[in-house]
């Protein structure tokens, strides 16, 4: 068990190491690093000073070492645009992204789980077929386009909800978030629904598949034979048993919500990390791009690691397989 976890840790660091090489290569070898890393408005003396400071006159292997040791110290360079450390900029915007992703996860679960159970419980009914066709439509719809439609319809045409930005920030139990004010909620609703759309489709399919498997189990037949009401069977016996696979998948899906939030944040001008990276790419703000990529990859590697370790506790078969390797 411990050996398995250590192995997975080792593997995670290897992935991070390879990613750092890739990102470093992308920035330093493909283009001209001087052009990319130094503010284009700098004069010749400034350029030479920065070249020496960044060690660009040194061999590539030494440069990489320099980049790596600085990154480990938390120094990922400073933004050209904001003149602030890139790491700080990203951490400042992280709460907005996390709040958007959490809220949309919440929306997708409360919509998708009931629909999925229904579609699995009565697979041949008209409503179930509509739900399933809807779910195919749901993940065929390009997120950014749906976002535009939401803005045009709910914000411009009906004028019900604000179309851009993050609302007032409230504080609750020491946590600051716009989810705690009414104004904040009205701002987060449209982007969160937009981001949730794709997830709704996949959670519906997952829940339906789980439900269909479970209703064939003996304990459901037994519960029916005992004369339990259908309501109790669905709410207790089925719901409880499909939650385990759903919860584990959601752990991973949360990561993909954060990745996809780049799109939603751009459409709704939501001031999160995703919008920051897209803006930085436009502005060629390389230090921020590098910092974002390193942070998001680290985040994913450890999210995956956490889910894998959680799995070994939930499912003994994974544990045993890991030991045999």
Q: What's the rounded Cα separation, in Å, for the pair 15 and 12?
A: 5
Closest distance between another protein and the C-beta of residue 144, in Å? 5
Closest distance between another protein and the C-beta of residue 239, in Å? 24
The phi, psi pair for 15, rounded to 5°, reads: -60, -45
Closest to another protein by CB, 15 or 68: 15
Q: What's the rounded Cα separation, in Å, for the pair 311 and 33?
A: 43
Q: Which residue in this structure is represented by tokens 């697979």?
A: 123
Closest to another protein by CB, 112 or 146: 146
DSSP lists the bridge partners of residue 172 as 175
Closest distance between another protein and the C-beta of residue 136, in Å? 5
Closest to another protein by CB, 157 or 231: 157
Q: Quick check: helix, strand or coil at residue 227?
A: coil
CB atoms within 10 A of CB 204: 27
- Would the CA dihedral through 276, 282, 286, 289 be positive or negative? positive
Please provide the size of the chain in residues: 325
Closest to another protein by CB, 233 or 291: 291
Q: Which residue in this structure is represented by tokens 């283009």?
A: 31
Alpha helices, H only, 233-285 = 239-268, 273-282
Closest distance between another protein and the C-beta of residue 281, in Å? 5
Task: Classify 217 in phi/psi space as left (phi over 0), alpha (psi -120 to 50) or beta.
Answer: beta
Closest to another protein by CB, 187 or 237: 187
User: What is the signed CA dihedral for 31, 36, 42, 45, rounded to 10 degrees?
Assistant: -60
Closest distance between another protein and the C-beta of residue 25, in Å? 8
Q: Which residues bind another protein (CB under 8 A)?
A: 11, 15, 19, 22-23, 25-27, 30-31, 133, 136-137, 139-145, 148-149, 151-152, 156-157, 163, 252, 255-256, 259-260, 262-263, 266-267, 277-278, 281-282, 289, 292-293, 296-297, 300, 304
Closest to another protein by CB, 10 or 52: 10
Closest to another protein by CB, 233 or 285: 285
Q: Which of 324, 264, 276 is nearest to 90 (CA)?
A: 276
> How does strand 175-177 pair with strand 170-172?
antiparallel
Closest distance between another protein and the C-beta of residue 118, in Å? 20
Closest distance between another protein and the C-beta of residue 213, in Å? 11
Longest distance between any two alpha carbons in the chain, whole Å: 86
């Amino acid at each position: 068990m411990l050996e398995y976890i250590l192995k997975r840790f080792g593997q995670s660091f290897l992935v991070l190491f390879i990613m750092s090489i890739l990102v470093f290569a992308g920035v330093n070898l493909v283009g001209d690093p001087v052009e990319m890393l130094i503010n284009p408005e700098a004069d010749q003396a400034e350029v030479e000073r920065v070249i020496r400071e960044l060690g660009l006159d040194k061999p590539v292997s030494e440069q990489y070492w320099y980049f790596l040791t600085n990154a480990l110290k938390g120094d990922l360079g400073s933004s050209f645009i904001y003149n602030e450390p890139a790491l700080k900029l990203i951490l400042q915007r992280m709460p907005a992204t996390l709040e958007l992703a959490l809220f949309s996860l919440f929306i997708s679960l409360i919509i998708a789980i009931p629909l999925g159970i229904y579609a699995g419980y009565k697979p041949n009914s008209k409503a179930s077929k509509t739900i399933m066709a809807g779910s195919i439509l749901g993940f065929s719809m390009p997120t950014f386009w749906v976002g535009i439609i939401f803005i045009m319809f709910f914000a411009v045409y009906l004028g019900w909800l604000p179309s851009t930005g993050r609302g007032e920030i409230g504080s609750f139990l020491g946590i600051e978030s716009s989810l705690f004010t009414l104004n904040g909620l009205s701002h987060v609703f449209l982007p969160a629904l937009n981001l949730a759309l794709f997830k709704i489709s996949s959670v519906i399919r997952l829940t339906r598949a789980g439900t269909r498997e479970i209703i064939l189990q003996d304990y459901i037949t037994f519960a029916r034979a005992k004369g339990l009401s259908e309501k109790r069977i669905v709410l207790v016996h089925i719901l409880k048993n499909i939650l385990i696979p759903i919860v584990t998948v959601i752990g991973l899906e949360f990561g993909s919500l954060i990745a996809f939030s780049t799109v939603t944040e751009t459409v709704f001008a939501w001031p999160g990390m995703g919008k920051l990276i897209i803006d930085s790419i436009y502005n060629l703000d390389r230090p921020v791009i590098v910092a974002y990529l390193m942070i998001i990859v680290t985040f994913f590697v450890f999210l995956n690691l956490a889910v894998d370790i959680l799995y070994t506790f939930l499912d003994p078969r994974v544990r045993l397989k890991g030991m045999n390797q």
